[in-house]
Structures are given as structure tokens and as C-alpha cells.
Amino acid sequence: MKIVRTIRELRSELHGEVGLVPTMGALHAGHLSLFDAARAENEIVVASLFVNAAQFGQPVDLASYPRDEAADAKLAEGAGVDILFAPAEAEIYPPGFATWVDVGDAGEEGAARSGHFRGVATVCVKLFNIVKPRRAYFGQKDAQQAIVVRRIVRDLNIDVQIRVLPTVRDEDGLALSSRNARLSEEERARALALPRALAAGAREYGLGGDAVAATRNALNGLTPDYVELIDLDGVTILATAAKVGATRLIDNVILEGELT
């Protein structure tokens, strides 16, 4: 695996059908499942590793984001990534950078995190233009992000297929997230209320009942930012977000349909 830091160097390495997995590092098994899919479907697999300051609201959140490039590089290489694109901040946002992608309505998650999806959208469009992938890979756990990215690609006529892969969970059901590392043992136990409440909501939906109310009732003392039904290209998803201690977690389950 080659680690490249500049756009010029990256472009000189690219040929054939490229699969891109955009990441901010702190890689876990969820990312590895995206690398596996990209490996199976493309000639070249590029993973980007860039902690995108533009999508963070609180400076403290950005400052405490886990960074370990050597560990990430080892995992990416083991998963068959060909090129790790790990640019410096100024390579992506050089002095004078002033153009942003305005995403419009981004649901409850967008409302809860002002400016977040503008930052995500801008860096994704830049990565699509830099890497020119045939396919780009995102996790279902960030369903609202997947919706926003699919909409940008459609609205701005960007020629890339957005693949959305299932959420990877720990054995007890907690969705894998780089943020889980911040949970104490006691918080991690409380965080299990999220997947359990979503399962309760999905059961209720299956019985023809109110999935949102059932999820809210099963959150076991966690106060959600929202519980909402979202639509991702015809797939109905039940999504929620809640703080456990100081850590904000998001999770969702599919109620109807299948992601591609």
C-alpha cells in the first residue's frame, strides 16, 4: 500500500476503475467492511484519511478526535487498500479556499448539527473530483450522511456510484463508531439502550404501530436529540441520536427495503 499526501502524486498513481472509501481514520471493523466491498468491486482501492475540521461543530470535539495514522495504515493495508490518501489540511483547504457545498434540508441530524453536512458535502465533492472514483463507499450507520451524499451526486451530476453498506455491530448490538472509544464501561452499558430501543421501534412498526413512540419509550433514560423515520432512496430507516455522558452517538435500523 502506498501512502500519498498530495493530489498530484495521487493522480499519477490512479488508473482503471477506482473504489474510494472516504474516512477520518480511527478505523474499525465498520471501515474494514467498506474496504472489503471496495476491494471486491474495483481494480484500485483508495482510502482517504483526513480529519475534516469543516464538519466539526465544537473545537473540543475536533481536538479530541482519535488520530493514529500508523495504526490506521496497518489496518488499511491488511484490508487490501492500494493507496492511502492522507493529505495535510492545506492540501484540501489551501489559503483562499472559499467555496462550499450547501446541502439544503438534512433532516433532524442536520438540524442538530448546524454546518456539519456542509463540511461533509464539501469534502466529499472535493474527494470525488480529486480521486474520480467509479464507486464510493459509506456506512449505513451514518444514514443521513449517505442521503446527503447521494443527493449531492444526483443534484450536481457527479459520475460516481454511492454504495451504502450495512452497519457493523459489536456482539451485544452496539454499532461500531470511532466515538465508542470515549465511553466509560458504565456509559458503554447505557449506550446499549440505543440499539435495543431501535429494535423495539422496529418490532412495533412490524405490528403496524408507532415506531418513533416505541423507540422513545425504550430508551431507558437516555434523552434523544430526535427519533425519526428517514427515507434513503425508497428504504425506510428508523434513526436516533443521543448523548451518553459527553459522547453523542447515532444509530439506525432499516424498517423496510434494502440498501445497495
Residues that are catalytic = 31
Per the listing, cell 450507520 goes with 141
The single residue among 33, 42, 52, 140 that binds ligand PAF, judged by CB under 6 A, is 52
CB of 138 to ligand PAF, least distance (A): 7
The single residue among 81, 92, 123, 253 that binds ligand PAF, judged by CB under 6 A, is 123
46 contributes a contact to ligand PAF by CB under 6 A: no
Residue 237: exposed, middle, or buried by beta-carbon count in 10 A (0-12, 13-18, 19+)? buried
* Residue ranges in 68-97 that form contacts with ligand PAF under rule CB under 6 A: none
- DSSP per-residue letters across 97-159: ----------HHHHHHSTTHHHHHHHHHHHHHHHH--SEEEEEGGGHHHHHHHHHHHHHTT--
CB of 162 to ligand PAF, least distance (A): 11
- Residues 6 or more apart from 212 whose CB is under 8 A from it? 201, 227, 228, 229, 238
Q: What distance in Å separates the CA atoms of residue 202 and residue 43, rounded to the nearest whole number? A: 38
125 contributes a contact to ligand PAF by CB under 6 A: no
CB of 231 to ligand PAF, least distance (A): 20
253 contributes a contact to ligand PAF by CB under 6 A: no
The single residue among 10, 18, 24, 168 that binds ligand PAF, judged by CB under 6 A, is 24
Residue 239: all three cell numbers together: 434513526
User: Which amino acid appears at position 231 of this protein?
Assistant: D
The single residue among 34, 106, 120, 168 that binds ligand PAF, judged by CB under 6 A, is 120
- Do 258 and 235 contact (CB within 8 A), yes or no? yes
Q: Which is nearer to ligand PAF, 27 or 193 (CB)?
A: 27
* Residues lying near ligand PAF in the complex (CB under 6 A): 22-24, 52, 55, 120, 123-124, 142, 145
